[in-house]
Structure 1
């Protein structure tokens, strides 16, 4: 019955653990992942009045996952309490049963995966070098099947379209996992909760989250593992429709249509080559929460790849039953969990005003150091707002709107004989000084900020767009108008 308290047997069977993530924010505002701990909470069912205190020793992450980083005291309480506590031997028997079943499922899948991999290598010797990744290591050093990181995720009313979801994921910071010493790139398939808590992660984390969101929107989405550019290992998302195939780059939100090229056809002309805009070079495998496919085509080149996944001459599939045996909630205790998205708690208007005030102060101080006075054109500053809204809308929808009105408004606001310069830029943080210093590295922005001469007026506008999990797009436009040299008007 809706709203009724779960009975003892139901509570005893809930094996989901509480995921505790510890982060640290440094003086620059950067968030670092310190610890990731999974807490078995059901001991409170045995405690008097279903209330207990526990001292937890938290370990580090990655290579430091065996080293303690601190101790926390956790108070657990069940509200309302049970009429009668669960006997400790009953709980112990339940935990032992779950552990043995989970371990057996993992053991059987490992046996299957080894046989599947052997068959894959027997198809073609060259397959040994293909990027077919079956397992990924999380922040605690635990290996999981990569498909277990993906789970369909519905965002409620926080995100309205798949493209808005792609924009949201692209606004989460990108940072490759670093290790001590000169070693090759080390992957860390961070749990999504830890990834969101840190608001930063590697391309695998972004791709998993984007794929989960696209699955939630009902698309046939898969995480792709392959290479881009100069053979750099990379992951992205592909959606396969009835007529079209699209690649989604989770780091920037771009979307590319895939058109397969027949290697036996004549070489493409320059125009056709220019239409292949995606950065991906090879693809080794793709997967979602229910399916896993390895590329067995003669070449793993993305441009010639055929995405007919049911064609066994093109793709080698894992058994859907084998995948389900270790990727169904409750069957494997260590399986990653997909959290619900949280709404943004930031006030975009207040934040926009605050950052803009700081940027103006930084401009005034910078020009003062150069010996220049500063005057702002308030009307021109206001007119920059539509452009910033248009830029963000274009990132979400791919459509450019409102540019004509913006240009007309600027034309009317700039006096005859005056020139106008504008420089838009976007950040994923709210650190005004950091944004200003970075912007000045651009020659056009430096020209605008340092502009001096006859009747110089500066303009600046900041517009913050908020997304779930306190992700944000901070747009800024620096602009100036000045009397053109040689003008007599």
Structure 2
């Protein structure tokens, strides 16, 4: 600020005297980007407010149906669920296995997602207050909740150009679930991320009990059909008579940027570590078998163990001829002398105790016939980012009399 001194030549008899001065105090600049961000923030707040009202209205109409419109990201910021949907690349290792069979590749990708361990279930009363990880963090940490699994699988399908959405509903066996809905030429398919299984809409073996809500990167749709069982639902979410949508058509609000990265980077799994783990699990299970049979000797049939070790790697990729002809002949010769009882167990790797519990629950160790022999084989198939598929084949053999 600049102040100038002026002499006053006004006579003492003057009763009034006034001055006008202009002083420069500085300047303030408002970048256009800041104004734009402020406008975008205002738009997002309007959308979040709309989402809250939309959810309340839907719950008022159908209190027992699930709907999630907003969640908190890992920075504690409330955002629309639509920002989690974006096409993302699966591991190249999976894409190279079935180069000329796209359906087999999709099945394998669904299986890969199912092998990522699940977080313990939390109360579903917190819908809308949950914290969701991005697909990148879900892969890197090798863990996720039901919705994060479904989002990851949906994003993988979008990478292939599929018309895919996340579906929220309930299951007979699993309670509240998140599936992936894909639209094919003449049908809709329902994918269960926890098992990797795909069901057609009219499949009676699908455990999905209700279809409550859909969302993709553009919108959220709430099912207002009286009958919300999968077989009866009209999945054409463009029809307002069946589905109530959060954002109106041709919505002019600013489209928020996705929270997902441009692409996913994967790390290789150490195969030596996997082999050490396999040996450790196999030794532990054999010791447990003897502990569970304190009154009887535990004899191992080496021939059967060798055959089972050849079978398990083929089961992982679901190839048709899972046993080579030579091994098949060996197994048939074995059946000429023994009654063989057993089956393979497959599960994602979380810890050794979970595998021990699964084997114990089969009850195969409880045979009281003193001449019973046993066969045990363990195989671990490594996927990127230390995601492991564990196979255990346990069998009991009783010699024919």
TM over 0.5: yes
- Contact 2:136 2:260 survives alignment (8 Å): no
- Contact 1:151 1:212 survives alignment (8 Å): yes
Residue 283 in structure 1 maps to residue 226 in structure 2: no
Rounded to whole Å, the distance in 2 between the matches of 1:154 and 1:219 is 13
Post-superposition CA distance 1:264-305 (Å, at most 9, x none): xxxxxxxxxxx4222222223212223433323344333311
Residues 458, 210 of structure 1: CA spacing in aligned structure 2 closer, same or farther, 3 A cutoff? same
Q: For 1:62-73, list aligned pairs within 5 A.
A: none
TM-score (norm 1): 0.63
- Contact 2:113 2:193 survives alignment (8 Å): yes
- Contact 1:341 1:468 survives alignment (8 Å): no
Q: For 1:445-464, list aligned pairs within 5 A.
A: 446-447=365-366, 453-454=370-371, 456-464=372-380
Deviation at 1:231, TM superposition (A): 9.7
- Contact 1:355 1:432 survives alignment (8 Å): no
Rounded to whole Å, the distance in 2 between the matches of 1:123 and 1:457 is 60
Secondary structure at the counterpart of residue 236 of structure 1: strand
Structure 2 counterpart of 1:173: 117
Structure 1 counterpart of 2:16: none
Structure 1 counterpart of 2:100: none
Post-superposition CA distance 1:437-474 (Å, at most 9, x none): 43112213x23xx66523x4432211111222221101
Residues 188, 121 of structure 1: CA spacing in aligned structure 2 closer, same or farther, 3 A cutoff? closer
Rounded to whole Å, the distance in 2 between the matches of 1:414 and 1:288 is 53
TM-score (norm 2): 0.76
- Contact 1:177 1:201 survives alignment (8 Å): no
Post-superposition CA distance 1:387-426 (Å, at most 9, x none): 32343233xxxx754379566532213452x222223112
Structure 2 counterpart of 1:157: 92
Q: For 1:388-407, list aligned pairs within 5 A.
A: 388-394=312-318, 401-402=321-322
Residues 443, 324 of structure 1: CA spacing in aligned structure 2 closer, same or farther, 3 A cutoff? farther
Deviation at 1:103, TM superposition (A): 4.8
Structure 2 counterpart of 1:376: 300
Rounded to whole Å, the distance in 1 between the matches of 2:145 and 2:91 is 25
Rounded to whole Å, the distance in 2 between the matches of 1:138 and 1:328 is 13
Deviation at 1:119, TM superposition (A): 7.5
Rounded to whole Å, the distance in 1 between the matches of 2:354 and 2:223 is 43
Residues 114, 183 of structure 1: CA spacing in aligned structure 2 closer, same or farther, 3 A cutoff? closer
Deviation at 1:384, TM superposition (A): 0.9
Residues 459, 233 of structure 1: CA spacing in aligned structure 2 closer, same or farther, 3 A cutoff? closer
Deviation at 1:356, TM superposition (A): 3.5
Rounded to whole Å, the distance in 2 between the matches of 1:323 and 1:303 is 35
- Contact 1:158 1:343 survives alignment (8 Å): no
Structure 2 counterpart of 1:327: 256
Residues 474, 98 of structure 1: CA spacing in aligned structure 2 closer, same or farther, 3 A cutoff? farther
Rounded to whole Å, the distance in 1 between the matches of 2:52 and 2:122 is 29
Residues 290, 341 of structure 1: CA spacing in aligned structure 2 closer, same or farther, 3 A cutoff? farther
* Structure of higher RCO (CA pairs closer than 8 Å, 6+ residues apart): 2
Rounded to whole Å, the distance in 2 between the matches of 1:327 and 1:135 is 13
- Contact 1:341 1:469 survives alignment (8 Å): no
Q: 2:225 aligns with which of 285, 289, 297?
A: 297
Rounded to whole Å, the distance in 1 between the matches of 2:198 and 2:336 is 41
Structure 1 counterpart of 2:22: none
Secondary structure at the counterpart of residue 168 of structure 2: strand
Q: 2:268 aligns with which of 337, 340, 344?
A: 344
Secondary structure at the counterpart of residue 438 of structure 1: helix
Could you tell me which runs of 5 or more consecutive residues in structure 1 were left unpaired when the two chains were aligned.
1-92, 260-274, 330-334
Rounded to whole Å, the distance in 1 between the matches of 2:125 and 2:69 is 22
Rounded to whole Å, the distance in 1 between the matches of 2:184 and 2:288 is 54
Number of aligned positions between the proteins: 360
Structure 1 counterpart of 2:384: 468
Larger Rg: 2
Secondary structure at the counterpart of residue 150 of structure 2: helix
Structure 2 counterpart of 1:307: 235
Structure 2 counterpart of 1:36: none
Deviation at 1:128, TM superposition (A): 6.2
Residue 214 in structure 1 maps to residue 157 in structure 2: yes
Secondary structure at the counterpart of residue 303 of structure 1: coil
Structure 1 counterpart of 2:166: 223
Rounded to whole Å, the distance in 2 between the matches of 1:124 and 1:174 is 27
Secondary structure at the counterpart of residue 200 of structure 1: coil
Rounded to whole Å, the distance in 2 between the matches of 1:116 and 1:237 is 22
Residues 113, 302 of structure 1: CA spacing in aligned structure 2 closer, same or farther, 3 A cutoff? farther
Post-superposition CA distance 1:65-104 (Å, at most 9, x none): xxxxxxxxxxxxxxxxxxxxxxxxxxxx99x876654453
Residue 441 in structure 1 maps to residue 358 in structure 2: no
Q: 1:413 aligns with which of 329, 334, 344?
A: 334
Could you tell me which runs of 5 or more consecutive residues in structure 2 were left unpaired when the two chains were aligned.
1-28, 96-104
Rounded to whole Å, the distance in 2 between the matches of 1:388 and 1:464 is 9
